[in-house]
Structures are given as structure tokens and as C-alpha cells.
Amino acid sequence: MPAKSTRGKMTLVRQICELIPSQMVPKLAREYDIDARKFSAWSHTTAHIYGQLTHAVGLNDICDGLELNSSGLRAIRGATPPKRNTFSNANRTRDPRMAEALYWRMIEHLPTVAPSFGARRIRSGYLRRFNAAIHAVDSTTIQLVANCMDWAKHRRRKAAAKCHMNLDLHTMLPRCAVVDTAKFHDSKKAWEVCAILQDGEIVVFDKAYLDFVHLNDLDERGVFWVSRAKDNIQYRTVKKLNTTSHPSVLRDEIIELTGVRTKERYPKRLRLIEAVIEVDGRDVVMTFITNNFDWSAWTVAELYRARWEIEVFFKEIKQTVQLVDFVGHNKKAVQWQIWTALLTHLLVRFLAHLSRWGHSFTRLFTLLRAGLWHRFNIVDFLLSYGTAGGSFRMLACPQHAYLPGFGAPADFPVGQPKRKRPAQRKRYEKIMQGKK
């Protein structure tokens, strides 16, 4: 077993929590005026990280679990297990901007520990030539309970929070995130999420963020943007372009908006591209608009397709951290949990990077959750875990499953190959014919 060769002095949960520098949390607590006399800010943060790693569904889960492992918890820089009322009061009264600031400080800190973690990823195809930063902007909805979270109610029987995020597609690290109620339309938050964009950078977003006043502002700032056009857009064609011979490009035109309000909000010319894009194995015709007139039409389509990576990022978060059951009902408690969930996801991603984890991210999270209080060297343990260096197929022969002297059942003779799917069967037959 790999655990024997990776025996360490610290538990897995301690090694995860101590990725955070020792003075960072106390400094932020003083900065945001956190009253930590009875329950320290470090203990508060550690309890939330533990709740995310264990998928705790309530305050009792976190408090009881930490109380049972109080000796291991105190080894994590003196953290103490909270009482239920103390933990609830801290979530309800403490400023969640501290958790938000901690998340952004860690995004700045971790690349200094391992520079390759924040290094630019080498892309293939059309996007390889882009030196400017490419940002993907999107939001994910976090469902809440309407009858006990009135602050987040946006319909009569529905309540939800939204996380609007700006993800750098070169480093796959967030550049900006806004957590608020779902009653605001995405286009209202576009200004805040895109405020950090600089001249020459590229942003890609869905048509939910389409606001022509904001698009005009981005163009004035020298930011290139790509988005999908709405179905009811009113325009006239000024000029037809021929920038690529790619067969999937159907139209490439320079247009002017003709709608009364849209023309007033965006008086300049735009570029409209219509292309066939494969979505879930089906060919779908999509229409894109952009303020760049130099790229080839297929490059614009490729840029929008790169936006899908933020959808994968959101899916990875929702499949791992706990954003379903909340340990508090008021706005501050929910924001505390969302920001510490993002922090926990960041720490686990950093461990996956250090250990060159080759399996799924969900499996890594499950493995850490199962061994939180085991004393393994976490990086060595992840490096040696599983069968990453070998084959994932069953290497034993069928006859090995039977006792010596006993044959196989009549309906499964020894040496008979396993059933193959049609594509595998055809490939198998070709190989066998080639051998003959």
C-alpha cells in the first residue's frame, strides 16, 4: 500500500490548512475588525474548510466532527473546535469580506510558492498565437431556500445567489468574482466583473451579458470582446468579408445596428459571424458579434468555444465543494460559505498541480475527504496513489478466477475474449485479419 511509504507527521487536513501563511488570517481579521476573543478567525476559517472537505450538511456535522478530533485540530496552529451557537453567531455577524480577501490573497500567494501554478498554459490551434490575456465571463446560480432566506428571494417561491466570475483562460485562475443575489440580471453585473480589463485584452461572454452601453465602454477602453448575438438583433449589412476558407463559416459581415435604442447605445460598426459549431455531438448554427475586424472568422468562433472552460470550472466546483446545504440562512453566513468553498477548491487544485494528479478532480476530493485525519505526506501520497503509471485494464486471465483442478463454466470457456462494443469489435477483427 502507498500509505506505508508516505507516512508523515501531520494529518492531511493540517497540511491543507497550513498552505495558508500563518499571519495572513490574523492580519485580515484585524483589517476587517473581527472580534475573535472567544473564537479565533483562524479557527473559524479552519472549521469552514473542514466543512467543505467533509461535505457537512449542518452546523452539528462540523462542530461534532471537530470535537471528536479536537487533538488533531489543535495541532493546526492551535485551532479550537467551535460550539454550535458560537459558530452560528460568527457566521451571522462577522464580515464575509474577510473570507473574500483571503481567497484573493491566496490566489496571489500560491503562484509564488509554485510559479508553474500560475504560469500561462500553452494552447493549440488558433488560440496559440494570442499573447494577450483571454477572459471568460459567466455566472453560476446557487439555489437557496425561499421560505427562510428572504434576502435572496427573487421570485415568489424561489431564492438563489449568483456567483459572477471572470476567469483567466491562460492560467485558469479567477481574476474577479462577485457573489450576490440572483434578482439582478447578468448584464447589470458585467460592469463590475469587467472593470479590471486592460487595453488589448480579450473578453468572451454569453449573450446574457449583452449590454450595448457596456460593450461601447469596453471598445472605448481598447478591450476586444466576443459574444453571441441575440435572435432579435436589428441590423443592416455594410460589407461582406472573406477572411477564411473554413467550411464551417457561413457568414462574415460588417454591420450597423438599426434599432432605435441599440443604435444610440452603440453607434459604431460591428462584425457579425455565423458559423456551424458542434455542441454535444450535433451541428448547431451560432451567430457571433465582435468589435475586432482583423481576426479570421473561425478565430472568433474558436474564441467563443474557449468560453466553455468556465462552464467546466463551475461544474468542477459544484461537484466537489459544498454549495447545496448551507450552515446558515442569513446573507453573511451564505457568503462566508461560498467564499470558503472557493478557497477550498483553490487549495485542492494547488495540491493536484503539485502532485501532477492524473485522475479526475472529483476522485482527488473524495480521496482527501476519506483520509483527512490520516498522517500521510500529502504530495507523496497523491503521487504514489492509484495506477497512474500502469494500465487501467484488468491484466489477469479468466482462468485465474478458478481454483486449481476446477474448470470454467460451460458458458464461459477459458480463453474466450470479452464482448466488445461494435467499434471495438470491428477494430479487433481488422487487427486479427492483419495478423493472418
The larger pLDDT score, comparing residue 7 to residue 340, is at 340
DSSP 218-248: HHHTT-EEEEEPPTT--EEEEEE------TT
**Of 56, 112, 150, 97, residue with least CA distance to 13:** 56
d(CA 287, CA 230) in angstroms, rounded, equals: 8
Q: Which residue has the cell 487536513?
A: 13
SS3 state of residue 144: strand
Residue 12 and residue 89 share a domain: yes
Residue 274 and residue 348 share a domain: no
Whether the Cβ atoms of residue 241 and residue 253 lie closer than 8 Å to each other: yes
Lowest mean pLDDT among 43-52, 310-319, 418-427: 418-427
Residue 83 and residue 6 share a domain: yes
Whether the Cβ atoms of residue 375 and residue 6 lie closer than 8 Å to each other: no
Whether the Cβ atoms of residue 18 and residue 76 lie closer than 8 Å to each other: yes
Residue 394: the pLDDT is 37
Is 139 contained in some domain?
no
Domain boundary, last residue among 356, 384, 412: 384
Whether the Cβ atoms of residue 333 and residue 325 lie closer than 8 Å to each other: no
Give pLDDT tens digits for 217-261.
Answer: 999 999 999 999 988 899 999 999 998 889 999 999 999 999 889
Cell of 226: 466576443
pLDDT surpasses 50 at 397: no
Cell of 220: 472605448
Is 323 contained in some domain?
no
- Domains: count for the chain: 2
The larger pLDDT score, comparing residue 329 to residue 348, is at 348
Is 219 contained in some domain?
no
CB < 8 Å & 24+ apart, contacts of 163-166: 163/139, 163/338, 164/137, 164/138, 164/139, 164/189, 164/192, 164/193, 165/137, 165/138, 165/139, 165/140, 165/193, 165/310, 165/313, 165/314, 166/135, 166/136, 166/137, 166/193, 166/194, 166/196, 166/203
d(CA 42, CA 36) in angstroms, rounded, equals: 9
Quote the domain boundaries for residue 286.
224-295
d(CA 229, CA 287) in angstroms, rounded, equals: 6
Is 76 contained in some domain?
yes
Is 288 contained in some domain?
yes
Residue 322: the pLDDT is 85
Cell of 180: 450576490
Residue ranges of the alpha helices (H) in 233-323? 260-265, 297-306, 308-320
Domain boundary, last residue among 341, 356, 384: 384
**Of 215, 225, 273, residue with least CA distance to 249:** 273
Residue 391: the pLDDT is 38
Is 117 contained in some domain?
no
Residue 286 and residue 340 share a domain: no
Q: Which residue has the cell 482527488?
A: 364
Residue 70 and residue 6 share a domain: yes
Residue 228 and residue 288 share a domain: yes
Give pLDDT tens digits for 280-334.
Answer: 788 889 999 999 999 999 999 989 988 888 998 999 998 899 887 888 888 899 8
Residue 174: the pLDDT is 94
**Chain center to CA of 87:** 28
Domain boundary, last residue among 384, 403, 427: 384
Give pLDDT tens digits for 357-376.
Answer: 988 899 999 999 999 999 98
pLDDT bracket for residue 122 (50, 70, 90)? low
Residue 88 and residue 37 share a domain: yes
Is 32 contained in some domain?
yes
Give mean pLDDT, residues 180-197.
Answer: 86
Is 311 contained in some domain?
no
